[in-house]
Amino acid sequence: MKKAIIIIPAYNEEKNIAGVINGIKNVIPDADILVVNDGGEDRTEEIVRGLGEQVISLPYNMGYGVALQTGFKYALKKEYEYAVQIDADGQHDPGDIPKLLDEVFNNKADVIIGSRFLDKGNYRAPFIRRVGMLFFAKLTSLIIGEKITDPTSGYQAINKHGLQFYAGDYYPVDFPDADVIIMLHRAGLKIKEIPVIMYPSVQGKSMHSGLKPVYYIFKMFLSIFVTLLRKAEI
């Protein structure tokens, strides 16, 4: 197997993390797994160490994107050729990892996005959220001239080119989302979607709650707008 690392950003996920790691090991027994503990104060780190997996702990909570980027930086430093990012809350089915990896191994694209809407996905989200997701999916597809159905997906496989971009300073660490895909496209990287299975978050706590959707929509518009203003090469 080619050198790939599975990156799991986790913030206070002591209840789910073991399940996710064991799920991955069931699919790929010799997988290199890295958990990035985002300054959480629960037993996530202990549990991961107990399972014998690598863990990096950020000194304080810095958000999903920063944790993820830490993983990418680590992967580059350790000269991994490929990486898979998967959520720690059990939303993503580890069974899809080989499918995602196969696509990057075969050079189908630099970034493979696991989409919950492509095909017969069984994902159900609140109506407003679905509308927002659909809107940004359409907007992204329009801008990059390629069909994207799930730009919010945090379930991706990337190759070295993708890693280098994700570890750079242009990567929007507060909400890596639709804007990332447009940035990737502008940087000349190839993106491809494949269908995956996603479950509603086990814990029920979502990144998008309270006033956050409003900020999210505003930030996404702004980010996409300034990305388009920048010169194409990054």
Nearest to 203 by CA among 55, 20, 8: 20
Q: Where are the alpha helices (DSSP H) in the chain?
A: 17-27, 44-50, 64-77, 97-105, 127-144, 160-166, 178-186, 212-229
Among 62, 125, 202, 207, binds other proteins (CB under 8 A): 62
Among 74, 155, 175, 216, binds other proteins (CB under 8 A): 74
Contact 131, 76 (CB under 8 A): no
Tell me which stretch binds other proteins (CB under 8 A): 24-32, 63-71, 110-118, 157-165: 63-71
223 is an interface residue for other proteins by CB under 8 A: no
Q: CB-wise, 169 or 233, nearer to other proteins?
A: 169
What lies within 8 Å, CB to CB, of 150 at 6+ separation is: 113, 114, 115, 116, 117, 118, 133, 137, 193
Amino acid at 228: L
Count residues near other proteins (CB under 8 A). 17
> Taking CB under 8 A as the criterion, which residues in 76-115 touch other proteins?
77
Least spacing, CB of residue 150 vs other proteins, in Å: 27
Which lies closer to other proteins via its Cβ, residue 164 or residue 201? 164
List the one residue from 18, 58, 143, 234 that touches other proteins (CB under 8 A): 58
Q: Which is nearer to other proteins, 172 or 195 (CB)?
A: 172
CB of 166 to other proteins, least distance (A): 12
Q: In this structure, what are the phi and psi dihedrals at residue 174, rounded to the nearest 5 degrees?
A: -75, -45
CA atoms of 144 and 136, how far apart (whole Å):
12
SS3 content of the chain, % helix, strand, coil (to 5): 40, 15, 45
Residues 69, 91, 156, 159: which binds other proteins (CB under 8 A)?
Answer: 69
The residue within the footprint of other proteins, chosen from 66, 137, 180, 187 (CB under 8 A), is 66
Nearest alpha-carbon partner for 9 in 58, 42, 51: 58
**Bridge partners of residue 75, in order along the sequence:** none
Nearer to other proteins, 56 or 224 (CB): 56
Here's the x/- map for other proteins, 27-56, by CB under 8 A: it reads as: ---------x-----------------xxx
Which residues of this chain interact with other proteins, rule CB under 8 A? 36, 54-60, 62, 66, 69-70, 73-74, 77, 169, 173
